[in-house]
Amino acid sequence: MSKKRFIKGALWLTLTAAAMRAVGMGYRVYLSSKLGEEGMGLYQLILSVYMLGSAFAGAGISIAVTRLVSGAVVQGSRRTVNKILRFSLGWSVALGTLVSIVFLGGAGGIAHHLLKAHESAAGLRILGLGLPFMSISAVYNGYFLAVGRVRYSCLAQVAEQAVRIGAVALLIDRYVALGDAAACNIVFVGNTLSEAAAALCLLIFYLKDCRRIPQGEESPDNVYARFLPIQLPIAAGKYISSLLHTGENLLVPVSLEKFSGQRLGALGDFGALKGMALPLIMFPSSFLSSLAGLLIPELTAAATLRRQERIRTLTRTTLTVTFIFSVMMGGLFFRFGEPLGELIYHSESVGNILKWLSPVIPFMYLDCITDGLLKGIGEQMASLRYSTTDSLVRIALVFFWVPRGGLSAFLGIMAISNCSVALLGLRRLIRVTDCTPPIKQGVILPLAGVLTAHFLSVWVSNLLLAATVYMAVFLLFLIGGGVLNKQNLQPFFKP
């Protein structure tokens, strides 16, 4: 793939991801206004099982298709590409259909034994219908990434989001009065329709695009002999992490109910945290996620060429930017968390959660970037090891501590967990890259800037003006301290 095409594709992916993240955040806010905290809790609970199903239906497929099609495109063989896609589609549809059958046939048992919510069975069946379409989309997304025309994947994402939001906005008001379960089912109908729309768009784009590849000679190799060794190891790691994550999400509401003795109250707390506060906290991290995605191929190339100094410089610069950004956002949520909860969700409990978790935000964002950097230099097994161990410890703590401490105990578990994983990832990154952590520029000066900005902004009563003062003081502090300058950011642009 040419450098120009790579940069163009990266821009498409980055801008689309940022736009879809913003739209998704607005969609969450809209749903919370219709469902309330208890409804968001039920929605998030069912969605946890669906995310596990989607992992089993599509994990590793896109990457395997990308790698195989990339080689066939280099050889200039449309016949080989078609052969790869025929097998990939057959395999992915079979997986998606199998998981869909499990959802359709086992929804009652899952709702009764796992979710402890009989009313969730219909929602699980509706979501299950969309899993084969998700598997199909994974194949075509892998194809478009391989041929360097990711704009088609981006357009399909836009269509998917438009169908989802349009269907829900059109129907949900008719069902809200029937209860949380009925309203959630309409949300899931929108989700299934959007998966079908995305798959259809990608199919149409593929039929238009595949003619660009010359016919060529068909490869005699067995596709499954090359496809499965790529897909299955990736899928196995995803299956483990998804199972543990889903297990935790199912256990939290049960443990909260044991503490309070109230099912609706437990669902409300779960919805306020997982469905409302956490998406808002993680929304700004889309910038860091995009940065990590762009750095992975750059770091992989540097590691292949054994350009250790380039790896070290990129790592240090990225950590500096991450520390500055995450400390700033943690300070913002501490200063404005409570009014943000009231302004966006009209919820005092969400505001309290935002403020309580604000000191943990730098560690959440740090984990996001260190995970990407470690994958870029071939240390993905270290990330998997840390996340798996963390999930097991979290589940144990949720089981024993949350029934005794309630939501406060779970927030404490989140703080311990995020800090531990982020620091372990940072320690591994520093060790393998031999990078000196930017303590002064990345930690001391940003913290001093946050404290100064907080102290000066509390004297301003108007919320918008206070936020403006906060940001202006923080940025001036960093500029004055020599943190934000061309020299520090140059490694991003210098090859």
Task: Mention every residue, 6+ apart, whose C-beta is less than 8 A from residue 97.
Answer: 131, 132
CA separation for the pair 109, 122 (Å, rounded): 12
Residue 492: predicted pLDDT: 46
pLDDT band of 301, cuts 50, 70, 90: low
Q: What is the CA radius of gyration of the chain?
A: 23
Of the candidates 285, 313, 311, which has an alpha carbon nearest to the alpha carbon of residue 298? 311
**Mean pLDDT confidence for 296-325:** 75
Please state the length of the chain: 495
Specify the pLDDT at position 293.
Answer: 59
pLDDT at 491: 47
Q: What pLDDT digit, counting tens, does each position of 172-196 carry?
A: 888 888 888 889 999 999 999 999 9
What is the model's pTM? 0.81
pLDDT at 381 (0 to 100): 77
pLDDT at 271 over 80: yes
For the packed helices 223-260 and 61-75, what is the interaxial angle rounded to 10 degrees? Answer: 160
pLDDT at 486: 54
Q: Which of 232-241, 358-367, 453-462 is least confident?
A: 232-241
C-alpha dihedral sign at 71, 159, 100, 245: positive
Question: What average pLDDT does this structure show over 307-312?
Answer: 78
Q: Note the pLDDT of residue 288.
A: 74
Q: Where are the domains of the chain?
A: 1-233, 262-495
Mean pLDDT of the region 291-302? 62
Q: Containing H/E element for 460?
A: none
User: What pLDDT shows up at residue 20?
Assistant: 77
Residue matched to tokens 């899928």: 235
CA-nearest of 94, 99, 222, 83 to 143 is 83
